[in-house]
Amino acid sequence: MKKMISLLMAFVLLLAAGCSQTSSFQPKERIKVGIMLSDVGLGDQSFSDSAFKGLMKARDELGIFFDYRELKETETYEKGLTELVEAGNDLVIGLGFMVQQDLEKVAKKYPKQQFVLIDAVSDLPNITSITFKEDEGSFLAGVVAGMLTKTNNVGFVGGADVPLIRKFANGFIQGVKAVKPEANVQEVYAGNFGDDKLGAQIAKQMIANGADVLYAAAGFTGVGVLREAEMNKKYAIGVDSDQYFYAEKAVVTSMLKNVDVALYTVIKQYVETKEVPKGTVQLGLKENGVDLAPIRVVTFTPEQQATLEKWKEKATNGIAK
């Protein structure tokens, strides 16, 4: 009996040794992606949340790992980006124009690391820049506002008075004027993307000044604008993601800035080819980079819907202005 047990153990050990020597199975290497979120971070109900949505889709459908940093934890973008590089991420993403300066510092320190910058343009060879034609999507938001206003008075609230946010404002104003040339557009820049109470105060003043449709490109500050519009039974237009659910009696549509689609597309390309686009990628209506969310709260007449489609076609082809 002891001899039989010894022979059996020897056979098992020999089998195990053979398996360890001949097996060619190797677990598939998974791509690692790190992202430094914009200033407000998760819960902004706008830009960062949309980017996070794209990363979760890439994780679920492409099998990547991802990590993230928020400014409230790292205190500086440079520190967060450096941590993501040193953690061994294949791609490191900086979200938002405010990240650019620190991202370029880190990119110079790590010339072999591949970076992606969202919402700004860098000339460094190891940074791929992704920008959006916010003026095209905002133009359509302006067309909607122009068709809805009864007072010929609408409002735009920007998070900061910077060139990027001016693109939203300029497109919106052009859209309003395309269908309602006599309309007045109030413009206010909050200087803050994370203060919903401030947004509500600005909206309240705009409404007091006659505005009956409000469009905010101001992150979480903009959420306060939407909710104040709802409280005053006015119309509102959201931004970046579909913000209808934050003020369901006011938000008629949102200007979608498809950050989630852009990130997923870039990551998918990297997973498949180990490369990302070089230089700058610009995404507008034609590229599905921007669009409008479904029209809700109001019902457009066939004439209004036809007007919106006409201007969307023109904007897509670059002849709306």
pLDDT tens by residue, 62-85: 999 999 999 989 999 999 999 999
| 200 — pLDDT class (breaks 50, 70, 90) | very high
256 neighbors 262 (Cβ within 8 angstroms): no
Start and end residues for every CATH 3.40.50.2300 domain found in the chain: 32-132+259-283, 134-257+290-316
Given a cut of 90, whether residue 10 has pLDDT beyond it is: no
Strands lying side by side in the sheet with 251-257: 184-189, 153-158, 213-217, 235-240, 251-257, 290-292
Given a cut of 70, whether residue 157 has pLDDT beyond it is: yes
Beta bridge partners of 255: 239, 292
User: Residue 227's pLDDT is what?
Assistant: 98
3-state secondary structure of 250: coil
Given a cut of 60, whether residue 6 has pLDDT beyond it is: no
**What whole-number distance in Å separates Cα of residue 311 and Cα of residue 205?**
31
Which residue has better confidence, 217 or 20? 217
User: Residue 48's pLDDT is what?
Assistant: 83
Length of the chain: 321
Predicted TM-score (pTM) above 0.85: no
Share of the chain above pLDDT 70, in %: 89
Give the pairing of strands 280-283 and 290-292.
unpaired
pLDDT in tens, 258-294: 999 999 999 999 999 999 999 999 999 999 999 999 9
User: Residue 28's pLDDT is what?
Assistant: 56
| 12 — pLDDT class (breaks 50, 70, 90) | very low
Ranges 156-160, 228-232, 238-242: which has the least confidence: 238-242
Which residue has better confidence, 59 or 44? 59
Share of the chain above pLDDT 90, in %: 82
User: Residue 49's pLDDT is what?
Assistant: 87
User: Residue 24's pLDDT is what?
Assistant: 36
Per-residue HEC secondary structure of 268-321 comes to HHHHHHCCCCCCEEEECCCCCCEEECCCCCCCCCHHHHHHHHHHHHHHHCCCCC
For residues 39-45, average pLDDT: 73
Given a cut of 60, whether residue 183 has pLDDT beyond it is: yes
Beta bridge partners of 280: 129
Closest to 195 measured CA to CA, from 214, 171, 217, 222: 222
User: Residue 45's pLDDT is what?
Assistant: 65
Give the pairing of strands 280-283 and 65-69.
unpaired
Pick among 3.30.70.600, 3.40.50.2300, 3.40.190.10, 3.40.50.460: CATH of 32-132+259-283: 3.40.50.2300
Q: What is the dotted CATH code of the domain comprising 134-257+290-316?
A: 3.40.50.2300
Closest to 64 measured CA to CA, from 116, 29, 26: 29
Given a cut of 50, whether residue 14 has pLDDT beyond it is: no
Closest to 135 measured CA to CA, from 157, 163, 160: 163
**Mean pLDDT taken over the chain:** 90
Ranges 27-31, 92-96, 202-206, 253-257: which has the least confidence: 27-31
For residues 118-132, average pLDDT: 95
For residues 92-109, average pLDDT: 96
Query: What one-letter code names the amino acid at 93?
Result: I
Give the pairing of strands 153-158 and 290-292.
unpaired
User: How many CB atoms are closer than 10 A to CB 20?
Assistant: 8
**What whole-number distance in Å separates Cα of residue 191 and Cα of residue 189?**
6
- Close Cβ partners of 113 (under 8 Å, ≥ 6 residues apart): 85, 92, 107, 126
| 11 — pLDDT class (breaks 50, 70, 90) | very low
Q: Which residue has the tokens 């050990």?
A: 13
Beta bridge partners of 51: none
